[in-house]
């Protein structure tokens, strides 16, 4: 997992849509999150079409991620944040569905890759298993949060596809440039350099 630069600048016209939905929420009307394609495209471009948590692009042919938008502050727990541009994180759909709907309980929290105090060095990629583990650089007060985030990062088939990517790189099938372009999180873990 690597640091993601938070994008706060929403496209022209978006403020009116956000304000209209916020008024509905304040009037206690039911609001279902929908984001028009033109705004989605801006969001995808701002975040380089990359999952904020897995640090893998949605363009990678070898790994088929399902592009979705995560609300870092959950919609059910914080409906007034539902349309806040800086609350959006691009996320693999399968991973997004595993996140809690409301405020997470202790042990279910996810570290925000856009947080100011986030440090990519808190995560260690075990090249033997493809799993993320807390590194020795994690401050004591962040260890539980990093540990629970690793649980999410290691669900599904994510460790096995990380192993395939690592093997393809180490065996010379893929170049460093390919890994850097499509798998910036793995690139960082293997080289220690940001993508």
What pLDDT is stored for residue 66 in this prediction? Answer: 87
- Mean pLDDT across the chain, nearest whole number? 90
Q: How far apart are CA 92 and CA 76, in angstroms?
A: 20
Query: pTM of the prediction?
Result: 0.90
User: What average pLDDT does this structure show over 161-168?
Assistant: 94
**Percent of the chain clearing pLDDT 70 (strictly above):** 98
Band of residue 152 on the pLDDT scale cut at 50, 70, 90: very high
Band of residue 141 on the pLDDT scale cut at 50, 70, 90: very high
pLDDT at 194 over 70: no
Output DSSP code: residue 88: E
Output DSSP code: residue 105: P
What pLDDT is stored for residue 195 in this prediction? Answer: 59
What pLDDT is stored for residue 188 in this prediction? Answer: 93
Burial (CB count <10 Å: 0-12, 13-18, 19+), residue 76: exposed
Q: How far apart are CA 178 and CA 194, in angstroms?
A: 14
Of the two residues 149 and 30, the one the predictor is more confident about is 149
Choose the most confident range, by mean pLDDT, from 16-30, 91-105, 116-130.
116-130
């Amino acid at each position: 997992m690597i640091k993601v630069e938070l994008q706060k600048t929403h496209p022209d016209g978006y403020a009116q849509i956000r304000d209209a939905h916020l008024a509905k929420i304040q009037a206690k009307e039911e609001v279902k999150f929908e984001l028009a394609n033109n705004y989605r495209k801006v969001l995808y471009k701002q975040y380089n079409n990359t999952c904020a948590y897995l640090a893998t692009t949605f363009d990678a042919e070898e790994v088929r991620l399902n592009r979705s938008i995560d609300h870092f502050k959950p919609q059910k727990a914080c409906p007034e944040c539902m349309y806040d541009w800086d609350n959006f994180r691009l996320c693999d759909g399968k991973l997004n569905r595993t996140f809690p709907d409301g405020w997470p309980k202790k042990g279910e929290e996810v570290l925000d890759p856009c947080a100011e105090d986030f440090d990519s060095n808190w995560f260690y990629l075990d090249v033997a298993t493809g799993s993320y583990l807390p590194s020795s650089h994690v401050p004591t007060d962040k260890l539980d949060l990093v540990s629970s985030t690793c649980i999410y990062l290691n669900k599904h088939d994510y460790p096995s596809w990380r192993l395939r990517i690592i093997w393809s790189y180490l065996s010379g099938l893929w170049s460093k440039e390919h890994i850097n372009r499509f798998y910036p999180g793995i690139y960082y873990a293997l080289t220690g350099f940001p993508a």
